[in-house]
C-alpha cells in the first residue's frame, strides 16, 4: 500500500520523484491497481497524466479499461518519448501496458522521476512463452518500488503468474482477452493442453 506524498508542500526543484512498477500476468489486477493509485493521487489534488500505447485499442481508443470495467481517461502514445512531451508540469505519470512500448521507456521514466514526478508503470512481466516482455525487466531493475500481482489459475484455482495462450500464433504481440489467453499457475502452464 502506498501513501501518496503531498507534492504541494515542497517546491518541485527540491523534491525528487520515483518509479513504481506494477507487474504480473494477464487478469492479475495490474490495471485495477494502477487506476486505484491514480484515483487516490487525484483525490490528493495532484496533477495526473496517464498514457497507454496507441496499439492497445481493445476496449477503447483513449480510456484504460480493466477486465472488470473500471476505467480512466488516458493519452495514447506511439513512442515513449511522447510521454515526456505530454507530461508537462504534472505531479504523477501513469503508464499502462508498458510492455508494448520501446526500450527508451526506461530512460524516459528515469528522466521524469529525476525531475520530481511520481511515475507509476503497469505491464506484463512475461509474454505468453514465459520470456521477459519489452522494457518491463529493465524498469523493474531501476524502479524504487515493484509490486507483483497475481491472478487465479483458471484450471486449478492456485495463484497464477503465467499468461497461457490458447491459440497457435507465435507472434510476440497478439492483442486479446479470454478468447486467446487464460491465467495459469506454473504447473498448469507447463502442462499445456494436458492441463
Ligand atoms: N483468472 C483470473 N484471476 C483473477 N482475476 C480475474 C481472472 N479472470 C478475470 N479476472 C478479473 O480481472 C480483474 C483484474 O483485471 P485487470 O486489472 O484489468 O487485470 P490486468 O490488467 O492484470 O490484466 C479481476 O478483478 C477480476 O475481476
Ligand atoms: C501474454 C501476451 C499478451 N499480449 C497482449 C494481450 C492483451 O491484449 C495485452 C495484455 O493485457 P492485460 O491488460 O495485461 O490483460 O497483451 C501479447 O500481445 N502478447 C503476449 O505474449
Ligand atoms: Zn493451475
**Which stretches of the chain are DSSP H helices?**
30-43, 81-87, 105-114, 136-142, 186-191
Residues tagged active-site:
97
Nearest residue (by CA) to ligand 2, atom 10, is 26
What does the alpha-carbon distance between residue 106 and residue 80 come to, in Å, rounded to a whole number?
Answer: 9
Burial class of residue 81 in the structure, from the number of CB atoms within 10 Å of its CB (0-12 exposed, 13-18 middle, 19+ buried): middle
Indicate whether residue 173 lines ligand 2 (CB < 6 A).
yes
CATH code, residues 14-150: 3.40.50.300
Tell me what ipTM this predicted complex has: 0.99
41, exposed or middle or buried, with CB in 10 Å at 0-12, 13-18, 19+? buried
Q: What is the reported pTM?
A: 0.94
Nearest CA to ligand 1 atom 9: 27
- Residue 176, ligand 2, Cβ within 6 A: yes
The pLDDT tens digits of the residues spanning 45-74 come to 999 999 999 998 777 788 889 988 888 999
Domain boundary assignment for the chain: 14-150
Cα Rg of the chain (Å, integer): 17
Amino acid at each position: 500500500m502506498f501513501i501518496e506524498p503531498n507534492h504541494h508542500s515542497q517546491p518541485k526543484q527540491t523534491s525528487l520523484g520515483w518509479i513504481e512498477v506494477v507487474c504480473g500476468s494477464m487478469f492479475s489486477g495490474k490495471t485495477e491497481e494502477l487506476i486505484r493509485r491514480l484515483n487516490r493521487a487525484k483525490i490528493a489534488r495532484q496533477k495526473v497524466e496517464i498514457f497507454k500505447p496507441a496499439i492497445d485499442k481493445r476496449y477503447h481508443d483513449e480510456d484504460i479499461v480493466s477486465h472488470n470495467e473500471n476505467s480512466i481517461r488516458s493519452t495514447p502514445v506511439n513512442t515513449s518519448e511522447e510521454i515526456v512531451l505530454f507530461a508537462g508540469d504534472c505531479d504523477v505519470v501513469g503508464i499502462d501496458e508498458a510492455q508494448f512500448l520501446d526500450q527508451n521507456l526506461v530512460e524516459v521514466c528515469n528522466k521524469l522521476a529525476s525531475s520530481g514526478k511520481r511515475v507509476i508503470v503497469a505491464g506484463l512481466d512475461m509474454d505468453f512463452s514465459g520470456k521477459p516482455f519489452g522494457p518491463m525487466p529493465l524498469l523493474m531493475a531501476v524502479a524504487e518500488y515493484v509490486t507483483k500481482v497475481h491472478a487465479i489459475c483458471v484450471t486449478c484455482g492456485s495463484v497464477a503468474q503465467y499468461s497461457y495462450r490458447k491459440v497457435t500464433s507465435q507472434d510476440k504481440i497478439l492483442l486479446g482477452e479470454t478468447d486467446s489467453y487464460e491465467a495459469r499457475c506454473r504447473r498448469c502452464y507447463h502442462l499445456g493442453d494436458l492441463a
